[in-house]
Structure 1
Amino acid sequence: MSIKRYKALALQTECFAVNNCKDRASAYTLMQKSLDKVLAETRGSKAFIGPDLKLVVLPEYFLTSFPFGENMEEWRKKACLSTDDALFDTMKDFCVKQSIFLSGNFYELDENFPELYFQSSFIIDDQGELILKYRRLNSMFAPTPHDVMDTYMEIYGYEALYPVADTKLGKLACIASEEILYPEIARCLMMRGAEVFLHSSSEAGSPQLTHKEVAKRARAIENMSYVVSANSAGISGIDFPFAATDGLSKIVDYEGHVLAEAGTGGSMVANSYLDINAQRDYRSKVSMQNYNARQRFELYAKSYTEYSHYPPNSFENETPTKELFIKTQLKVIKDLQN
């Protein structure tokens, strides 16, 4: 049965870095502690917010933080998980007990690409089912499906790039971190029906409008979609300022209005009602503001087909390293200048 109006929470929580852990065992122990803390905060938030809380989005690095000096092999061995890991079983059981949908982001192992990992977002529903997994498509230093595109397409198919889950909370999709800055990703998800973008992020929470802040509102407006954006409440255990990524988790509605926004530090303030019925009514009207209905994709298709910037399959016949990412981007910049 559909729930047309419910509360969502962008949980702002401190992330604990595994970078200084000496081995996989100690890193995994810290991940377990991080998950216990996040689930306890989620449980407490629901007790305070009330039974209408049905959807919780976690920050980008809630289990591990990010590679900070580790090479790809080191990070894969230390900090990456598969979705059949016991930590996912814990989250699934929790979602059933709390009757919530839970979304977050982690570094994922894939047996089809044993030398790589992907940065993946997920949604677990209130029945304890993993109903969506989205792999980040644009990253500075992490592997993406685009880097192994031909092989990835053979295994998973094109539609796997843009998953949308049709649920009783509406049509849900994930956007990872800085991908909010790439309008094509949100647009491709909207094409497939997405109504709510679940945005796990770890970013500067500035009182000024940052690039990501502008983008969250823009993606909401131009796709007539909700954005539930969870930022971290600082990252500890890593050698940069703790609060460099802290604050301003928020919920934006389909007209670009900020419905709720946290300050800094651990917070459940970024919670608000999402009214899917009202959104669908808004999308159904003939108006200047119905940007979805007024899109003319054929005008753009030829340009996207004929112009290539960052090349696909960049890992083909190359060892994936940070230096390779830099080398590839430098080549793209040079080509764009010619």
Structure 2
Amino acid sequence: MSETPTPYAAVAMQLTARSTEACADTAAVRAQILAHIGEIEGAIRSAAIFIEQYAGRPVKLAVLPEYLFTSYPGRIGIPEFAERVGFAADGPEYAALGTVAQRLGLHLAGNAYEVDAHFPGFYFQTSFLVAPSGDVVLRYRRLLSMFAPSPHDVWDAYLDRYGIDGVFPVAQTEIGTLACIASEEILYPEIARAFAFRGAEVLCHSSSEIGSPLATAKDVAKRAQAWESMAYVVSANTAGISGTAMPLASADGNSQVVGPDGKVLAQSLSGETYTAFATIDLAALRAARRTPAMTNSLARQRPSLFAGVYADAPGQDANAMLDGGTARVPERDDFRRMQTAMIEKLVKAGVIT
């Protein structure tokens, strides 16, 4: 970025995700999603007005929770869920989100399930960034998921189509260089570090997780990834999930903004709220990244030290869902079988006993 943005406010919008389970058909699902997208504009607008009055900074980034508009798939088959809730890149859902961002004049980050014409029958869990212009300027597809397809499962075909920049995208914007991290991936330092090495200054984390007054694994990870990557983490959790048999507040609370020193700048309690907001000061961040110091974790990195270890480490194989170059739509039980095979591989390699 040629110019450093003036300090601005970012907010993690803690909102209730709505399941589409009870919808009678796909048309009802789509109508519910579009209505929900329309509703968030008022919530974000009121939050932005208060935050600017309270903190004296305009809100230029709002982060939404994970799968806010649909909830998670459960045991629904992958092609069925893709058809039922999957956002198309040129579909009405992204157009509606673009209108919200445009009307509010801010960057809007969120998370949804997305379909791709190049991989029919699949869906990818996608974190996105919509610019104030209304354009989607970043879409990141979750790489590490227990029960959903990953680009790594169709790796060769995915790289042929999108390249490595499509796997680890960052967006250079007027509010800094932004990246998105999905859900549990905040637990894996390689994801955040990959974005940091591509220049990311703000990590937008959409999540739906257990909230607790105790330090959860994700809480610890958010602070660790912020410090290790010298980046802000803006993490939005759901305020529960409605429309399911699961108790509403099972995934609620602990939305937060973490500074590049790993300190929590703001954190929400439970319920729908915008109280996790903080100032993003990129001038200070960029100065810290350019200063020789023990605390400059990026400047002290030696990736080549570990490249061989990672290259030789046993791991899940790429292209697990490619047959002769053609994507094979998995069954739900395939994911458990894949992890079982991975555990056996770790035992055989002597990594675990």
**TM-score normalised according to structure 1 size:** 0.97
| Number of residue equivalences | 338
**Offset of residue 239 of structure 1:** 1.8
Q: Which amino acid aligns with 1:321?
A: E
Q: Which amino acid aligns with 1:275?
A: D
Q: Which amino acid aligns with 2:178?
A: L
Residue 178 (structure 1) aligned with residue 188 (structure 2)? no
Residue 251 (structure 1) aligned with residue 257 (structure 2)? yes
User: C-alpha distance in 2, partners of 1:90/1:326?
Assistant: 36
Matches within 5 A, 1:109-148: 109-148=115-154
SS in 1 for 2:214: coil
Residue 329 (structure 1) aligned with residue 339 (structure 2)? yes
**Offset of residue 17 of structure 1:** 0.3
Residue 61 (structure 1) aligned with residue 45 (structure 2)? no
Give structure 1 regions of 4+ aligned residues with deviation exceeding 4 angstroms: none
Structure 2 equivalent of residue 43 of structure 1: 45
**Offset of residue 3 of structure 1:** 2.3
User: C-alpha distance in 2, partners of 1:230/1:319?
Assistant: 31
Tell me which moved more, 303-312 or 229-238. Answer: 303-312
From 295, 298, 306, give the equivalent of 1:292: 298
**Is there any run of 5+ residues in structure 1 with no aligned partner, and where?**
none
Matches within 5 A, 1:223-242: 223-242=229-248
User: C-alpha distance in 1, partners of 2:263/2:214?
Assistant: 17
**Is there any run of 5+ residues in structure 2 with no aligned partner, and where?**
349-353
User: C-alpha distance in 2, partners of 1:337/1:2?
Assistant: 50
Structure 1 equivalent of residue 206 of structure 2: 200
User: C-alpha distance in 1, partners of 2:119/2:33?
Assistant: 23
Structure 2 equivalent of residue 7 of structure 1: 9
Question: Identity across aligned pairs (percent)?
Answer: 41
**Offset of residue 165 of structure 1:** 0.8
SS in 1 for 2:316: coil
2:34 and 2:96 in contact (8 A); partners too: no
SS in 1 for 2:129: strand
User: C-alpha distance in 1, partners of 2:12/2:231?
Assistant: 16
**Offset of residue 2 of structure 1:** 4.8
Deviation readout 1:135-180 (Å, 9 max, x if unpaired): 1111011111001001111111122111111111111000000000
From 42, 63, 77, give the equivalent of 1:71: 77
**TM-score normalised according to structure 2 size:** 0.93
Deviation readout 1:282-332 (Å, 9 max, x if unpaired): 111111111100000001111122223111111123540111111110011
1:4 and 1:170 in contact (8 A); partners too: no
Tell me which moved more, 45-54 or 59-68. Answer: 45-54
Structure 2 equivalent of residue 301 of structure 1: 307
1:19 and 1:68 in contact (8 A); partners too: no
User: C-alpha distance in 2, partners of 1:89/1:279?
Assistant: 33
